[in-house]
Amino acid sequence: MSGNRTFTMIKPDAVGAGHIGAILNDIAAAGFKIVAMKMTQLTSAKAGEFYAVHKERPFYGELVEFMSSGPIVAAILEKENAVADFRTLIGATNPADAAPGTIRAKYAKSVGENAVHGSDSDDNAAIEGAFHFGGTEVFG
């Protein structure tokens, strides 16, 4: 079952620019079912914990600051082959390299402020989903 789920966040840049509806529409049109969703704001401590794997990277500080700078929409999505298909839907990390029509190509501002998060593996999808949602907040 975990192979059919991924975790996403609509990041503060895209929320601030008014793109929540358009991005959710793209996600639904690509065949993903939303099984959990909330609008929230990460503290810098929580953002630091979520991105701890990037702690040694030069952009870690700016990433944590950005991800805690405003509200996000967090969601768990269900679809066959969810992790890989969602990475295809969102496009490359740097929107300059993202394929036309992908969410990052359409809505991301820069490599740092790149509109959406998508899990990179089934294991991380499960960890990231559990980081944001309790059992009574996940449906389906």
Specify whether 132 is catalytic.
no
- Would you count residue 114 as binding ligand DAT (CB under 6 A)? yes
Nearer CB in complex with ligand DAT: 101/139: 101
Q: What is the per-residue DSSP string for the chain? A: -GGGEEEEEE-HHHHHTT-HHHHHHHHHHTTPEEEEEEEE---HHHHHHHTGGGTTSTTHHHHHHHHTSS-EEEEEEE-TTHHHHHHHHH--SSGGGSPTTSHHHHH--SSSS-SEEE-SSHHHHHHHHHHH--GGG---
Q: Which of ligand DAT, Mg ion, none lies near 63, with the C-beta cut-off 5 to 8 A by kind?
A: ligand DAT
Positions 35 through 64 that interact with ligand DAT (CB under 6 A): 54, 59, 63
The nearest distance, CB 48 to ligand DAT, in angstroms, is: 12
Chain residues that interact with ligand DAT, rule: CB under 6 A: 54, 59, 63, 93, 111-112, 114, 117, 120
